[in-house]
């Protein structure tokens, strides 16, 4: 494997690019017109435009991606996550084109990628599954008939994807038509397939997933669990490894169950088996995500295993370098997803230009991002702009490091979810690990109050004001060179004084 085309964008494209570099593999980027100047494009050995900003005409266009692979003379393709990552059509197209697909074989992707078929398969194998339809729902009437047998609420899910996309809750029959329309529309946009199914909505449960790796030589391992219960509208906001809910015996049992899932479907490469854990600690199979997960860094931090490198090694036919009996997770890791959203206004999207950026560092801190000052954050794609990961010897130390890192993280020019994370990390229920999938909805009123009382970040406000003042001064300034301090320095000092960050000298 000499050259890998990365069929994605943003931080995951950069993450794969770096893994390729370390393995002496040439990375090739693709980009939509709006992503032309992004960091992965600049750092790749070659980059090809695959279409306009709309994902349907670029990152979801299999023909455009394969055309770029041919132009680049790539011999492998990494799909990242999202977009076409779980689309068996892409895996089959790669196979037909003589490209190595860095992921599961197309027949396995089809099997587990169709969430309905995966549920049928697991139920047949004796794996406990959430009560739900075992066929795609033809219309709202089919879901209404199911709900009559199980009772409301029910949850509608995309049959062809995961990641929280294409999901809607119906708490009564009156909600069904709108829920079906919303789920189908989002599923079509995210995965190119509007098929949906329904499950009984389980509440007061934890979302816990198991990371697996399986090679082509009959070896498979699980790398422990990730706690993913801190979520809003089925989108994960914070993940951690391990979970406070699992004892060693529970961990072994769930790991064994995940490996049985992998065996039943003939899984290869990296994947995640997702479960809901009820109040008695009983796991229920939810789905298999046949790709690298957004939250893979927390597993990497506690196991020392480079999951993207492992993906590439498995795809080129290497046997797994790790064995189950040698896996010794160490410490605790927490990940905060930093989104371009305004948490004080219902997590409304916050597109715009990154005016200034300061990334945290120090012991135990990792930041996965492709952000650069001056980048435009568009509305066209997922709002994730960075992942902040903290590792500690135990959960207490990981939390302390994460609090420090959130305080150091500065993004000016757009609103982000950093204020939400700042308050969440102080919440007594979060600190105690009292979590379930309804946690954020319950604590959000008090977090919103805390965010309002804390007010805007003074440093971010000062920088934004300084940049605005500088741009105004430059616009109005005469053409001849100015004397004395530059407009940036003057504007910056003025903004800092006005914000209280810089004291005026005594008279």
- Domains in the chain (CATH in brackets) are 3-102 (3.40.50.20), 131-200 (3.30.1490.20), 203-330 (3.30.470.20), 332-455 (3.30.470.20), 458-499 (no CATH)
pLDDT class of 285 with cuts at 50, 70, 90 = very high
pLDDT digits (tens, 9 = 90+) for 187-201: 998 888 899 999 999
Per-residue confidence (pLDDT) for residue 146, from 0 to 100: 94
Per-residue confidence (pLDDT) for residue 318, from 0 to 100: 98
Q: What's the mean per-residue pLDDT of the chain?
A: 92
Q: What is the dihedral of CA 144, 145, 148, 154, to 10 degrees?
A: -50
Helix axes 106-113, 248-265, angle to 10 degrees: 120
Per-residue confidence (pLDDT) for residue 462, from 0 to 100: 67
Per-residue confidence (pLDDT) for residue 507, from 0 to 100: 32
Per-residue confidence (pLDDT) for residue 463, from 0 to 100: 72
Closest to 458 in 3D by CA, of 493, 487, 495:
495
Task: State the Cα–Cα distance between residues 468 and 481, nearest whole angstrom.
Answer: 20
Helices (H), 10-85: 10-22, 39-43, 62-72
The region of weakest confidence among 90-99, 157-166, 332-341 is 157-166
Q: What is the value of pTM for the model shown?
A: 0.88
For 207-215, what is the mean pLDDT? 98
pLDDT class of 134 with cuts at 50, 70, 90 = confident
Per-residue confidence (pLDDT) for residue 165, from 0 to 100: 85
The region of weakest confidence among 71-75, 272-276, 360-364, 499-503 is 499-503
For 460-467, what is the mean pLDDT? 69
Task: State the Cα–Cα distance between residues 108 and 87, nearest whole angstrom.
Answer: 11
pLDDT digits (tens, 9 = 90+) for 69-99: 999 999 999 999 999 999 999 999 999 999 9
Per-residue confidence (pLDDT) for residue 189, from 0 to 100: 85
Could you tell me the CA-to-CA distances from 193 to 139, 183, 294, 383 in Å, in that order? 15, 11, 22, 22
| Omega before 153 within 30 of 0, i.e. cis | yes
Per-residue confidence (pLDDT) for residue 455, from 0 to 100: 82
SS3 of 110, please? helix
Choice among 226, 291, 366, 422 that is catalytic: 291
pLDDT digits (tens, 9 = 90+) for 342-361: 999 999 999 999 999 999 99
Q: What would the two tokens of residue 103 be? A: 């992921």
User: Cβ-count burial of 475 within 10 angstroms (0-12 exposed, 13-18 middle, 19+ buried)?
Assistant: exposed
For 443-464, what is the mean pLDDT? 83
- The two beta strands, 3-6 and 76-78, are parallel
- The long-range contacts involving 115-119, CB below 8 angstroms and separated by at least 24 positions, are 115/157, 115/158, 115/159, 115/160, 115/162, 115/197, 115/287, 116/159, 116/195, 116/197, 118/265, 118/287, 118/288, 119/197, 119/285, 119/287
| E strand map for 248-355 | 269-277, 283-289, 332-339, 341-342, 348-349, 352-353
Q: What would the two tokens of residue 229 be? A: 């219960």
Residue 31 has pLDDT above 90, yes or no: yes
- The long-range contacts involving 328-331, CB below 8 angstroms and separated by at least 24 positions, are 329/223, 329/224, 329/241, 329/242, 329/302, 329/303, 330/302, 330/303, 330/304, 331/301, 331/302, 331/391, 331/392, 331/393, 331/394, 331/397, 331/398
Whether 119 is catalytic: no
Task: State the Cα–Cα distance between residues 45 and 365, nearest whole angstrom.
Answer: 28
Residue 326 has pLDDT above 70, yes or no: yes
For 164-174, what is the mean pLDDT? 92
Task: State the Cα–Cα distance between residues 180 and 461, nearest whole angstrom.
Answer: 42
**SS3 of the chain: helix, strand, coil, percent, to 5:** 40, 25, 35
pLDDT class of 499 with cuts at 50, 70, 90 = very low
Q: Which contiguous run of DSSP H or E holds residue 120?
A: helix 115-124
Could you give phi then psi for residue 207, rounded to 5 degrees? Answer: -105, 110
For 119-128, what is the mean pLDDT? 91
> What percentage of the chain has pLDDT greater than the value 90?
83
Residue 26 has pLDDT above 70, yes or no: yes
Closest to 267 in 3D by CA, of 218, 224, 223:
218
Residue 168 contacts residue 156 (beta carbons within 8 Å) = yes
The region of weakest confidence among 138-147, 305-314, 333-342, 362-371 is 138-147
Cross-strand bridge partners of residue 32: 51
Residue 132 contacts residue 199 (beta carbons within 8 Å) = yes
Per-residue confidence (pLDDT) for residue 497, from 0 to 100: 43
Q: What size, in residues, is the chain?
A: 507
Q: Which contiguous run of DSSP H or E holds residue 46?
A: strand 46-51
The region of weakest confidence among 12-16, 54-58, 461-465 is 461-465
The region of weakest confidence among 161-165, 234-238, 321-325, 503-507 is 503-507
pLDDT class of 379 with cuts at 50, 70, 90 = very high
Per-residue confidence (pLDDT) for residue 297, from 0 to 100: 99
Per-residue confidence (pLDDT) for residue 114, from 0 to 100: 86
Per-residue confidence (pLDDT) for residue 192, from 0 to 100: 80
The half-sphere exposure of 215 on its side-chain side, counting CA atoms within 13 A, is 18
Residue 405 has pLDDT above 70, yes or no: yes
Residue 156 has pLDDT above 70, yes or no: yes
Residue 465 has pLDDT above 90, yes or no: no
Q: What would the two tokens of residue 369 be? A: 């991002």
pLDDT class of 115 with cuts at 50, 70, 90 = confident
Helix axes 88-96, 62-72, angle to 10 degrees: 30
> What percentage of the chain has pLDDT greater than the value 70?
90
Cross-strand bridge partners of residue 225: 210
Identify the top-confidence range among 39-53, 149-163, 170-184. Answer: 39-53
């Amino acid at each position: 494997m000499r050259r890998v085309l990365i069929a994605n964008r943003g931080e995951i494209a950069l993450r794969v690019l770096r893994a390729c570099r370390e393995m002496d593999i040439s990375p090739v980027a693709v980009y939509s017109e709006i992503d032309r100047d992004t960091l992965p494009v600049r750092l790749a050995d070659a980059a090809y435009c695959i279409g306009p900003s709309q994902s349907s005409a670029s990152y979801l266009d299999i023909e455009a991606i394969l055309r770029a692979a041919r132009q680049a003379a790539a011999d492998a393709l990494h799909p990242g996550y999202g977009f076409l990552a779980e689309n068996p059509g892409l895996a089959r197209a790669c196979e037909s084109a003589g490209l190595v697909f860095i992921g599961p074989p197309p027949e396995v992707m089809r099997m587990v990628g169709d969430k309905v078929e995966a549920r049928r398969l697991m139920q047949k194998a004796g794996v406990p599954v959430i009560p739900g339809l075992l066929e795609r729902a033809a219309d709202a009437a089919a879901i209404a008939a199911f709900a009559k047998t199980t009772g409301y609420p029910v949850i509608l899910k995309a049959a062809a994807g995961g990641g929280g996309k294409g999901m809607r809750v119906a708490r009564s029959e009156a909600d069904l038509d709108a829920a079906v329309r919303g789920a189908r529309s989002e599923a079509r946009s995210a995965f190119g397939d509007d098929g949906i199914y329904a499950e009984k909505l389980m509440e007061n449960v934890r979302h816990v997933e198991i990371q697996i790796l399986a090679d082509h030589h009959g070896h498979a391992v699980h790398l422990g669990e990730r706690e993913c219960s801190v979520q809003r509208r089925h989108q994960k906001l914070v993940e951690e490894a391990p979970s406070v809910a699992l004892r060693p015996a529970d961990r072994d049992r769930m790991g064994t169950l995940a490996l049985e899932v992998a065996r039943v479907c003939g899984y290869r490469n990296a994947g995640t088996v997702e479960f809901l854990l009820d109040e008695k600690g009983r796991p229920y199979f939810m789905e298999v995500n046949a790709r690298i997960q957004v939250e893979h860094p927390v597993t990497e931090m506690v196991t020392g295993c480079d999951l993207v490198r492992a993906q590439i090694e498995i795809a080129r036919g290497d046997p797994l370098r790790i064995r189950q009996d040698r896996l010794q997770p160490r410490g605790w890791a927490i990940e905060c997803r930093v989104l371009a959203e305004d948490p004080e206004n219902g997590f409304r999207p916050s597109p715009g230009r990154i005016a200034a950026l300061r990334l945290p560092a120090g012991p135990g801190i990792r930041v996965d991002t492709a952000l650069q000052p001056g980048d435009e954050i568009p509305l066209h794609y997922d709002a994730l702009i960075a992942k902040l990961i903290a590792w500690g010897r135990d959960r207490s130390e990981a939390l302390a490091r994460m609090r420090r890192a959130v305080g150091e993280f500065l993004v000016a020019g757009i609103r982000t979810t950093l204020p939400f994370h700042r308050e969440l990390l102080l919440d007594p229920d979060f600190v105690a690990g009292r979590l379930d999938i309804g946690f954020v909805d319950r604590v959000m009123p008090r977090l919103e109050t805390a965010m309002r009382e804390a007010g805007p970040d003074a440093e971010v406000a000062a920088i934004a004001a300084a940049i605005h003042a500088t741009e105004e001064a430059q616009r109005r300034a005469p053409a001849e060179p100015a004397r004395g301090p530059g407009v940036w320095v003057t504007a910056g000092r003025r903004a800092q004084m006005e914000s209280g960050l810089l004291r005026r000298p005594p008279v």
